Amino acid sequence: MRLKTTVQKQDFKIIAVDDEQGILDSLSIYLGNYHFTGCTDPLEAIELIRNEHFDLLLLDFLMSPIHGDQVVEEIRKFNPDLYILLLTGHKDLAPPLETIKRLDIQGYCEKSDKFDQLLLLIESGLKSVSQMRIIKEINEKLDLAYTELKEAYRGTVESLRYAVDAKDSYTKNHSDRVAYYSTLIGQKIGLSEQELETLHDGALFHDIGKIGIPDAILQKPGKLTDDEYDDIKNHPSIGSKILAPAKIFNDIIPIVKHHHERFDGRGYPSSLKGEEIPLFARIVGIADSFDAMTSDRSYRPRFTLIKALDELENGKGTQFDPNLVDAFILAIKESKEFIEGELHIDFIARKDDNI
């Protein structure tokens, strides 16, 4: 029987698993236009599929030493996408519909001396595989375009961040250090890699809003007036507005906007309290304060490490989340430098050229 097809048969690899060699021999003839592999041992087939790409699996149900549903159980542990057609010579012994759905078996066919129905199912299955290939290629292209757009926008915001650092020599590399300290806390409390990346990026951009604060205020050597301090307090809101047009920064906007909230609700801009403050903003708030305390300012020298840690302890429950302060202090005290007595104030800020 000749079938009209819209797929290029040589582009697809089919593996058939059946403990009857005669079935495999017949399939190899009918499927000769495809890249065909036949296998009588279901355990060997699992390893073949684990180590080699196949587009479609023809799988007998009743086999030894394991049945077809057990084969699928194993395959789905490492390959959720393989298109599977289950074959059986005994309709009454086929697995229940619930099992077929649970294992994501795409098709079912009874064995017959005639292969017409099976060939139609294979053709239909490979059309689905072909469509999924196209969708995957489109998604990859979209991901690439999104990544390029994200990097371009990120580059623009990075330039603004560096401009902020350049406005105030006392805060040079401040954001990099805050990102490092924040990551220390995040690692200590068990954040995932993706969460750590979001936290790191939010810490890098937490002060981006200072680009909108006059230099005279940022660089003022003495104490700020109330009006000047009110201007400074606008920088989280300014920063969130800078990032808002790009959806790629949605996850870090809460960090930028709320890193100056206080645990007791007396912070700004929203007077959030306790766990109302986003977790990552609470983390960055601690890291930001620690770096401010351990950096030289025009109006005071840097704190010693011990004094800075004491200040964090004193701020537990009022300015800072107590549990996060404990995590940060523990992370520092577990560091190699602290244990060996070599830890000084800029132990993190200068030990990595990327910071």
Active site residues: 210
**CB-CB neighbours of 32 under 10 Å:** 9
Q: Is the peptide bond before 301 cis (omega within 30 degrees of 0)?
A: no
**Integer Cα distance of 7 and 241 in angstroms:** 50
Q: At 6, which helix (H) or strand (E)?
A: none
> Could you say which DSSP state residue 207 is in?
T
Given strand 56-60, what is the order of strands in its sheet? 35-39, 13-17, 56-60, 83-88, 107-110
Terminal Cα distance for the chain, rounded: 68
User: Under 8 Å CB-to-CB from 177, ≥6 apart: which residues?
Assistant: 287, 291, 348, 349, 355
Query: Which residue(s) pair with 36 in the sheet?
Result: 14
